[in-house]
Amino acid sequence: MHEQPPHPETEPHPSEAGSDASQQAYERFVDGQAALDQEIGESVAPPRPSRKSAWLAMGAVGVALALLWLAPGIGTNTTQQSADTQGSASASAGGSATIDPDAAADALAVGKPAPLQFTMQDMNGIDVRLGSFKGKVILLNFWATWCGPSQEEIPSLVELQQQYGDQLVVLGVSIDDPLSKLKPYATKMHMNYPVLVGKDRQDVQDAYGPLFGIPVSVFVDRDGRIWKRHSGIASKEQFEREIKALL
């Protein structure tokens, strides 16, 4: 913050100071004009300019000087502008909240056509075309067996798949688990929906990503558009609210 400069203890009356300064400036301008005329040898002295024209000329000179002073690279103004810019950037960096990349990715996905062109293998080695489920509400859940929050979501997903039956299809996309882990894990968790192998399928993860972490759930409406993307763990109530909105 710029501090105001201290005022002098005594100042002349504004009207008196302004009047004296104006008169002196006017007389200096007129004298200078006469001296210039004499120096260049003009035989006929020009008429004495009126006070109005003199002030207009002085004003034009003042404006020109001000513009030169404000132009980039002139005087100390550039240095001050640079300092102000750096200060603003620092203040902005220090005062604004950090952007959450997960939240940004979630928001950007909404309304886009879901990439349903992929064919993936499920844990039984059967090819599954994502586009074959178009017309239903699709919930793609990106997860992994080693992920605690993913494990907490699975019972809710099992219940929702059973509850909404043919209106909903939950697709569990394991991002990096080998088949040797998937099948016993799915059996233990009573997973009643397709479990797809996402290991080495960076194309799928990129299409629905970026995935900065898991779990990530993507809700696709009956027309094949992304209704919502949710990063992080979700409760059954959160899942069901989005599903009901699409039925």
pLDDT at residue 176, rounded to an integer: 96
pTM score, whole prediction: 0.61
Amino acid at 215: P
Say which residues have a Cβ less than 8 Å from residue 190's Cβ, sequence separation at least 6.
158
Per-residue pLDDT of the chain (247 residues; tens, 9 = 90+): 434 344 444 444 444 444 454 455 556 654 655 554 555 454 444 445 454 454 455 455 444 444 444 444 433 333 333 333 344 333 344 445 678 899 999 999 999 999 999 999 999 999 999 999 999 999 999 999 999 999 999 999 999 999 999 999 999 999 999 999 999 999 999 999 999 999 999 999 999 999 999 999 999 999 999 999 999 999 999 999 999 999 9
Neighbours of 20 (CB within 10 A): 11
Neighbours of 197 (CB within 10 A): 22
The C-alpha atoms of residue 223 and residue 216 are separated, in whole angstroms, by 21
CA angle 183, 221, 154 (to 5 degrees): 30
Tell which residue, 146, 171, 175, has the closest CA to residue 161.
Answer: 171
Q: Which long-range contacts (CB under 8 A, 24 or more apart) does 91-94 make?
A: none
The C-alpha atoms of residue 147 and residue 233 are separated, in whole angstroms, by 10
Tell which residue, 103, 121, 114, 143, has the closest CA to residue 208.
Answer: 114
pLDDT at residue 199, rounded to an integer: 95
Say which residues have a Cβ less than 8 Å from residue 210's Cβ, sequence separation at least 6.
101, 105
CATH code of 102-246, in short, is 3.40.30.10
The C-alpha atoms of residue 198 and residue 128 are separated, in whole angstroms, by 12
pLDDT at residue 214, rounded to an integer: 97
pLDDT at residue 96, rounded to an integer: 54
pLDDT at residue 1, rounded to an integer: 41
Q: What is the largest CA-CA distance in the chain?
A: 114
pLDDT at residue 99, rounded to an integer: 80
Two tokens, residue 33: 């004009």
pLDDT at residue 174, rounded to an integer: 98
Give yes or no for a contact between 220 and 142, defined as CB atoms under 8 angstroms apart. no
Two tokens, residue 3: 């501090």
Tell which residue, 137, 158, 132, has the closest CA to residue 247.
Answer: 137
Two tokens, residue 235: 């409760």
What residue segments make up the domains of the chain, in order of their start? 14-93, 102-246
- R_g over Cα of the chain: 38
Two tokens, residue 189: 């968790």
pLDDT at residue 39, rounded to an integer: 52
Neighbours of 41 (CB within 10 A): 6
